[in-house]
A and B are shown apart, each in its own frame.
Chain A
Amino acid sequence: MSRIGILSYAHVHASAYASCLRRLSNVDFIGIADEDRDRGQQAADANSVPFFSSYDSLLAEKPDGVIITSENIKHLPLTRLAAEAGAHVLCEKPIATTMADGREMARLCREHNVKLMIAFPCRYSPAVQAAKRALDNKQLGRIFAVKATNRGQMPGGWFTNRELAGGGAVIDHTVHIMDLVGWFWRSPVKRVYAEVGQDLLWKEGVDDSGLISFRLNNGMFGTLDASWSRPKTYPTWGDVTMEIVGELGWLQLNMTGQEITLYSDARQGISLVPWGSDINLGLVRDFVDVIGSDRPSPITGEDGLYALEVALAAYQAAGAGAVVELPLE
């Protein structure tokens, strides 16, 4: 039985992870700590677990692991608290808002001998895993290019607060796809170019659209659309897609493609209702398994940094109107 707590309920994914913790029979969900008393108390009540009004008080319960779902800027301080308390960490993406913060998180976890895992649930999608197997087996031969999208609706809240999020759409939506790119091809990103738009689609005072072009050391190139370009009337939150062009074929991945369509007069709208496997459950279950075993973290701090670096490079490239070489200085 692993004892797991949640540090901060600021991120929208927190409730999904909490529901996974409740569903796992080998987890003792010890509670939720939040600096926002109302938010934390409400979340604790909804999950029927204790509320802790400080992170320290939850960590004093000596959990085996914690899930950090704070605003991006707080990933480092919360990881530090957890590592110093000897708790393994599952941290929401992006790993941090700067490379220095992310590196420090990885260092702290090494120093305190706890595992750091970054929450990239897309790796647990059965469709994504099947795509990876096809690529690993060289079924498409040499790969030339990938065209990817991780578009979404505008999330609102602190996601549009540069101070708390480290940016807008680009830092929010670059990392899932770039993590898959890094996982699929294990090749460093060599160059990044980007068009980034602020107040093009929304009036939030932060970047809301981004078209990121990248090239890997292995010669492949790709683009990624990280825009919050799905309107409020869109029937689902967004998408995760990849089209991979290879010597022997062409692979189309629409990760959320397992959906039924609901036309509801009662709910005044059209919506896509997912029925596929719960990738968040796959992620949280693996975290629980990893901290109870000798397995190393399957999604390391270095993996988190790989994806973050592309988002940061995209901002740099857009600012300079020029291609940026990686690694960043």
Chain B
Amino acid sequence: MKRVGIVGCGTMGTTHAQAWRSTDAELVGFFDVDPEAGQRAAERFGVAAFCDQDALHQAVDIVDVCTPTYTHREVVIAAVQAGRHVICEKPMSLSVEHCADMIRGARDNNVRLFIAQVVRFFPEYAAAKQLIDDGAIGKLGVIRLTRGGTHPAEGPRGWFAEEYRSGGVVLDLMVHDLDYARWLGGDVERVFCQRHLGPAADYALVTLRFRNGAMGHVEGSWAYPSGFRTGFDIAGDDGLITHNSEESVPLTIRYRDSGQGAGRVTVPSSPLFPEDSPYALELQHFVHCIETGEEPLVTPMDAMAAVQAATAARESALLGRPVVLQPLAI
């Protein structure tokens, strides 16, 4: 059984920790630069808290990097140099150059590197991809993807709101759909982006042109007053597939006002078997690839190409013109 250690105990660290329980790997422990955060996570999941990243490396086969984006290159390269396989949260990094460093680092140290582009493992997104592969809507024409929520709050999640640390909505959030768009439409020829970047709202509209002639529209929002939603509308020359997370809700509970000023609260949910959680499916897939040597559903080059599309979109928004993507090579 492969042993796993998680670096970074924020939202994604604990989300992954939960998901590891539904895989056939064993979570051994956590490391976080904030020792208290590491200790809290370790206690919650009944595993070790390591005092530094090297100590974690000594105890595991796989390092699961769930730290903020701006630290990915450093944390990943330390792990691969210690000879450990690495699973790294999305976005892969803040720049194509950093991504290339990570890929070279894994190659040079003879270990595997996986980037957790989890949207490919979301059942509704995987189902659409399968239908498209089966020819249900013919040849792809217009791919529309949307994803949005509230602006990252102050406090522990504050780094998300800092453009130079997270890449903002275009990199942090839209990289999901840029990767999914590439999965469907293949390589992107050019990107055009318009964006509002303010203290309380980060909102972008991106158009893509794929090399095969199809086009894409991606909306990323950290500008909604409340809630979170995803959606797609994928048109081919023989059909259409649509999804709207607000309509895919098997359970909604509406609470009366508690009288304590909490207001009326609506809690929608879309539960799955634990092993069908996209995070569990993703992590189990990566473990399987390590054990068998198979290529993953999403390669580090795919993740790098998604970062390239996102950084090109940020550049387009700044320059006010479309940006043509160059072929990637390591």
A residues near B (Cβ < 8 Å) are: 144-145, 147, 191, 193, 195, 197, 200-203, 208-209, 211, 213, 215, 221-223, 225, 227, 229-231, 233-234, 245, 247, 249-250, 321-323
Of the candidates A191, A231, A321, the one whose C-beta lies within 8 Å of that of B239 is: A231
Complex CA gap A229/B207 in Å reads: 16
> Do A221 and B225 contact each other (CB < 8 Å), given the known contacts A211-B215, A213-B192, A215-B194?
no
> Do A213 and B194 contact each other (CB < 8 Å), given the known contacts A147-B205, A223-B217, A225-B144?
yes
Complex CA gap A195/B215 in Å reads: 7
Q: Which of B5-13, B120-128, B230-238 contacts A (4 or more CB under 8 A)?
A: B230-238
Encode contact with A along B212-245: 1 for CB under 8 Å, 0 otherwise: 0111110101011100000001011111100000
Determine which residue in A145, A225, A249 has the highest number of CB atoms from chain B within 10 A of its CB, and name it: A145
Closest chain-B Cβ to A217's Cβ sits at a distance in Å of 14
Q: Are A231 and B235 in contact (CB under 8 A)?
A: yes
Can you list 17 A-B pairs, Cβ within 8 angstroms, ordered by A?
A: A144-B198, A144-B223, A145-B194, A147-B219, A193-B321, A200-B139, A202-B237, A213-B192, A213-B205, A223-B194, A223-B207, A229-B142, A229-B240, A231-B235, A233-B239, A245-B223, A249-B225
B residues near A (Cβ < 8 Å) are: 137, 139, 141-142, 144, 190, 192, 194, 196, 198, 200-201, 203, 205, 207-209, 213-217, 219, 221, 223-225, 233, 235-240, 320-322
Query: What are the residues of chain A within 8 A of B205 when measuring CB–CB?
Result: 145, 147, 213, 221-223
Complex CA gap A227/B237 in Å reads: 12
Complex CA gap A213/B217 in Å reads: 10
Determine which residue in A234, A249, A250 has the highest number of CB atoms from chain B within 10 A of its CB, and name it: A250
Query: What are the residues of chain B within 8 A of A229 when measuring CB–CB?
Result: 141-142, 233, 235, 240
Complex CA gap A225/B198 in Å reads: 25
Closest chain-B Cβ to A59's Cβ sits at a distance in Å of 43
The 9 closest A-B pairs by CB, nearest first: A229-B235, A144-B196, A200-B141, A221-B194, A201-B141, A195-B215, A211-B207, A223-B205, A229-B142
Q: Are A209 and B141 in contact (CB under 8 A)?
A: yes
Closest chain-A Cβ to B27's Cβ sits at a distance in Å of 39
Complex CA gap A221/B238 in Å reads: 32
Our count of residue pairs bridging A and B at CB distance below 8 angstroms stands at 102
Complex CA gap A150/B155 in Å reads: 41
Q: Are A227 and B201 in contact (CB under 8 A)?
A: no
Closest chain-A Cβ to B41's Cβ sits at a distance in Å of 35
Q: Are B196 and A234 in contact (CB under 8 A)?
A: no
Closest chain-A Cβ to B188's Cβ sits at a distance in Å of 11
Query: What are the residues of chain B within 8 A of A144 when measuring CB–CB?
Result: 196, 198, 201, 203, 223
Query: What are the residues of chain B within 8 A of A195 when measuring CB–CB?
Result: 192, 207-209, 215
Complex CA gap A227/B235 in Å reads: 10
Closest chain-A Cβ to B10's Cβ sits at a distance in Å of 27
Q: Are B320 and A145 in contact (CB under 8 A)?
A: no
Closest chain-B Cβ to A220's Cβ sits at a distance in Å of 9
Complex CA gap A225/B223 in Å reads: 21
CB-nearest residue of chain B relative to A193?
B192
Closest chain-A Cβ to B187's Cβ sits at a distance in Å of 15
Q: Are B322 and A323 in contact (CB under 8 A)?
A: yes
Q: Are A250 and B217 in contact (CB under 8 A)?
A: no
Of the candidates B207, B214, B236, the one whose C-beta lies within 8 Å of that of A213 is: B207
15 additional contacts (CB under 8 A) given A221-B196, A227-B235, A230-B240? A144-B196, A144-B201, A144-B223, A191-B320, A195-B208, A200-B142, A211-B207, A211-B216, A225-B142, A225-B144, A231-B235, A231-B238, A245-B203, A250-B225, A321-B322
Of the candidates B144, B201, B233, the one whose C-beta lies within 8 Å of that of A245 is: B201
CB-nearest residue of chain B relative to A214?
B194
Query: What are the residues of chain B within 8 A of A227 when measuring CB–CB?
Result: 141-142, 235
Query: What are the residues of chain B within 8 A of A250 when measuring CB–CB?
Result: 223-225
Query: What are the residues of chain A within 8 A of B237 when measuring CB–CB?
Result: 200-203
Q: Are B320 and A201 in contact (CB under 8 A)?
A: no
Query: What are the residues of chain B within 8 A of A145 when measuring CB–CB?
Result: 194, 196, 203, 205
Complex CA gap A247/B225 in Å reads: 9
Closest chain-B Cβ to A193's Cβ sits at a distance in Å of 5
> Do A322 and B322 contact each other (CB < 8 Å), given the known contacts A145-B194, A213-B205, A223-B205?
yes
Q: Are B236 and A201 in contact (CB under 8 A)?
A: yes
Q: Are A323 and B320 in contact (CB under 8 A)?
A: yes
Query: What are the residues of chain A within 8 A of B225 when measuring CB–CB?
Result: 249-250
Complex CA gap A227/B214 in Å reads: 12
Closest chain-B Cβ to A325's Cβ sits at a distance in Å of 10
Complex CA gap A170/B37 in Å reads: 54
Complex CA gap A193/B317 in Å reads: 12
Complex CA gap A231/B236 in Å reads: 8
Complex CA gap A215/B240 in Å reads: 29
CB-nearest residue of chain B relative to A221?
B194
Query: What are the residues of chain A within 8 A of B200 when measuring CB–CB?
Result: 247
